[in-house]
Amino acid sequence: MMRVIAMDMDGTLLNSQKRISPRTREALIRAEQEGVILILASGRPTSGLMGFARELEMEKHHGLLVSYNGSQVVDCETGKVLFNQALSVEEGKAVLEHMKKFDRVRPMIDRGKYMYVNNVYDQYITVKGKLFNVMEYESRGGNFNLCEERDLAAFVDFPLNKILTTADPEYLQAHYKEMMEPFKDALNCMFTGAFYFEFTAKGIDKARALGTVLEPMGYRREDMVAFGDGHNDASMLDYAGYGVAMANGVEELKAKADEVTASLDEDGVGMTVERMLERG
């Protein structure tokens, strides 16, 4: 029986216009009305999930937000932080100091209403031959004001849920091993997109966050359906009783999923939820 639906955001729940389609929204709200709880599980910061949670009426149905790839879990109804494991100040400083060696890597960190970067005018990377304003994309997506700090390592005196770095995909592929080398045994270091490489606390992933919070609430892995498209969704699909990969997902995820549904622009999440609700 389906009691929990956990969904990645970008590439999964959201279509290519970064919106929830009407069909998918209707199916998910119907599921909530039938007693299913929804979980948004994303690399996005918590602030970048709140608007979508309200759109799905999750505050009325005990929904949960799993943000920063599993570093934090928030109850939509109460706003209470149910789980949080951040990088220590020392770990954050060490990563940001090391990133200074890579002149084309742009670190991004957040606190409160602000996303901090080294240079607010150095906003563009090249993706598939086109310029992409990655800082505007990240700050808008997280509902942050963009703020400049020339020395992020010196600035940081607070724990960080994650350090996101970005660069041209080709540059990251050429340098990510050197970027992660000092931290490979102490932190989680991973690609979360072709032009994103991030650092989180050791052992953090979406599955750990889900298990830590859901099991004390009386939910079993067998009760959960999980949807994803990327490498950072693998732990979540492994954890869930039934894992669904998007047609637009990476091949490694599709190979291990219980089902491959339609793509993000073909209502893959919505049509699968509709079918499961009809099946009961």
Distance from C-alpha of 258 to C-alpha of 243, rounded to nearest angstrom? 5
| pLDDT(192) > 90 | no
pLDDT, tens only, 69-97:
999 999 999 999 999 999 999 999 999 99
Predicted confidence at residue 75, as pLDDT, reads 97
Closest residue by Cα to residue 69 from 94, 42, 46 = 42
Predicted confidence at residue 112, as pLDDT, reads 95
Contact 108, 135 (CB under 8 A): yes
Predicted confidence at residue 113, as pLDDT, reads 96
pLDDT, tens only, 36-60:
999 999 999 999 999 999 999 999 9
Strand order in the sheet with 81-84: 81-84, 72-75, 64-67, 37-41, 4-7, 224-228, 242-246, 259-261
| pLDDT(1) > 80 | no
pTM: 0.93
Predicted confidence at residue 220, as pLDDT, reads 94
Q: What is the mean pLDDT of residues 143-156?
A: 97
Distance from C-alpha of 216 to C-alpha of 94, rounded to nearest angstrom? 35
pLDDT, mean over the chain: 96
Supply angle C-alpha 265, 270, 275, rounded to 5.
130
pLDDT band at 7 (very low <50, low <70, confident <90, very high): very high
Contact 217, 211 (CB under 8 A): no
Q: What is the mean pLDDT of residues 86-109?
A: 98
Q: What is the mean pLDDT of residues 238-259?
A: 97
| pLDDT(280) > 80 | no
Q: What is the mean pLDDT of residues 5-12?
A: 97
Predicted confidence at residue 90, as pLDDT, reads 98
List, as one string, the DSSP characters of 13-82. TB-TTSS--HHHHHHHHHHHHTTPEEEEE-SS-GGGTHHHHHHTTGGGTT-EEEEGGGTEEEETTT--EE
What DSSP character marks residue 129? T
pLDDT band at 193 (very low <50, low <70, confident <90, very high): confident
pLDDT, tens only, 130-149:
999 999 999 999 999 999 99
Predicted confidence at residue 115, as pLDDT, reads 98
Distance from C-alpha of 212 to C-alpha of 268, rounded to nearest angstrom? 28
Q: What is the mean pLDDT of residues 165-191?
A: 97
Q: What is the mean pLDDT of residues 27-38?
A: 97
List, as one string, the DSSP characters of 206-229. HHHHHHHHHGGGT--GGGEEEEE-
Predicted confidence at residue 247, as pLDDT, reads 98
Predicted confidence at residue 158, as pLDDT, reads 97
